[in-house]
Structure 1
Amino acid sequence: MTRITLPRPDDWHLHLRDGAMMRAVLPETTRDFARALIMPNLVPPVVTAAQATAYRDRILAAMPEGADFQPLMTLYLTEETEAADLRAAAESGLITAVKLYPAGATTNSASGVSDFTRVKPVLETMAEIGLPLCVHGEVTDPTVDIFDREAVFIDRVLDPIRREIAGLRVVMEHVTTRDAVDYVRAGGSDLAATITTHHLVINRNHILAGGIRPHYYCLPVAKREEHRRALVTAATSGEAAFFLGTDSAPHLDSAKLMPCGCAGCFTATNTLSILAEVFEAEGALERLEGFASRHGPGFYGLPVNEDRVTLEKGEPVSYPAAIATEDGPVTVFDPMMPLHWRVVA
Structure 2
Amino acid sequence: MPQSNIQTLSIIQPDDWHLHLRDGDVLQSTASQAAKQFRRAIIMPNLRPPVTTTEAAQQYRKRILDALPGNTNFEPLMTLYLTDNTPPEEIRKAKESGIVHGVKLYPAGATTNSDAGVTSLDRCIPTLEEMQKQGIPLLMHGEVTDPSIDIFDREAVFIDKVLIPLRKKLPDLKIVFEHITTKAAAEYVTEADGYIGATVTPHHLLFNRNSLFVGGIRPHYYCLPILKREENRQALLKAVTHKNSRFFAGTDSAPHAKGAKENACGCAGCYTASHAIELYVQAFEEVGELEKLEWFTSINGPKFYNLPVNRNKITLVKEEWKIPDELPFGHEKVIPLMAGESIHWKLK
Query: Structure 1 312/232 Cα, relative in aligned 2: closer, same or farther at 3 Å?
Result: same
Alignment deviations for residues 168-226 of structure 1 (CA, whole Å, 9 cap, x no partner): 11000000000000110111340110000111111111113542110000000001011
| Deviation of the 1:335 alpha carbon | 7.9
How far, CA to CA, are the matches of 1:138 and 1:239 in structure 2?
23
How far, CA to CA, are the matches of 1:210 and 1:116 in structure 2?
41
Match of residue 221, structure 1, among 226, 238, 250: 226
How far, CA to CA, are the matches of 1:282 and 1:338 in structure 2?
19
2:79·2:103 contact (CA, 8 Å) conserved in 1? yes
Alignment match, 1:191 = 196
How far, CA to CA, are the matches of 2:282 and 2:46 in structure 1?
31
Amino acid in the other structure paired with 1:222: L
How far, CA to CA, are the matches of 1:74 and 1:165 in structure 2?
20
2:323·2:341 contact (CA, 8 Å) conserved in 1? no
| Deviation of the 1:94 alpha carbon | 2.1
The answer as to 2:277 corresponding to 1:272 is: yes
How far, CA to CA, are the matches of 2:32 and 2:242 in structure 1?
30
Alignment match, 1:50 = 55
How far, CA to CA, are the matches of 1:25 and 1:337 in structure 2?
21
Amino acid in the other structure paired with 1:128: K
Query: Structure 1 18/137 Cα, relative in aligned 2: closer, same or farther at 3 Å?
Result: same
Q: CA RMSD, aligned part only?
A: 1.3
Amino acid in the other structure paired with 2:73: D
How far, CA to CA, are the matches of 1:247 and 1:3 in structure 2?
26
1:196·1:245 contact (CA, 8 Å) conserved in 2? yes
SS in 1 for 2:9: strand
Alignment match, 2:3 = none
Alignment match, 1:326 = 330
Alignment match, 1:79 = 84
**Structure 2 matches for 1:157-172, cutoff 5 A?**
157-172=162-177
SS in 2 for 1:302: coil
How far, CA to CA, are the matches of 1:145 and 1:325 in structure 2?
33
How far, CA to CA, are the matches of 1:323 and 1:189 in structure 2?
41
Alignment match, 1:211 = 216
Alignment match, 1:39 = 44
Alignment match, 2:35 = 30
How far, CA to CA, are the matches of 1:25 and 1:253 in structure 2?
14
The answer as to 2:112 corresponding to 1:112 is: no
| Deviation of the 1:321 alpha carbon | 1.8
How far, CA to CA, are the matches of 1:189 and 1:307 in structure 2?
31
Amino acid in the other structure paired with 1:6: I
Alignment match, 2:314 = 309
How far, CA to CA, are the matches of 1:303 and 1:99 in structure 2?
22
How far, CA to CA, are the matches of 1:185 and 1:86 in structure 2?
29
The answer as to 2:183 corresponding to 1:178 is: yes
| Deviation of the 1:43 alpha carbon | 0.3
1:12·1:36 contact (CA, 8 Å) conserved in 2? yes
The answer as to 2:346 corresponding to 1:342 is: yes
| Deviation of the 1:337 alpha carbon | 6.5
| Deviation of the 1:31 alpha carbon | 0.5
Amino acid in the other structure paired with 1:239: N
How far, CA to CA, are the matches of 1:188 and 1:310 in structure 2?
36
Alignment match, 1:231 = 236
Amino acid in the other structure paired with 2:191: A
Runs of 4+ in structure 1 deviating by more than 6 angstroms, as ranges, are none
2:43·2:76 contact (CA, 8 Å) conserved in 1? yes
Match of residue 12, structure 2, among 7, 11, 22: 7
Amino acid in the other structure paired with 2:192: G
Alignment deviations for residues 21-66 of structure 1 (CA, whole Å, 9 cap, x no partner): 2222111100021000000000000000110011001001001221
| Deviation of the 1:92 alpha carbon | 2.5
Show structure 1 runs of 5+ residues with no match: none
How far, CA to CA, are the matches of 1:205 and 1:342 in structure 2?
26
How does the TM-score come out when normalised to structure 1? Answer: 0.97
> What is the aligned residue count?
343
1:25·1:323 contact (CA, 8 Å) conserved in 2? no
Alignment deviations for residues 285-312 of structure 1 (CA, whole Å, 9 cap, x no partner): 1111000000000000000001110111
Greater shift after overlay, 202-211 or 223-232?
202-211
Query: Structure 1 191/19 Cα, relative in aligned 2: closer, same or farther at 3 Å?
Result: same
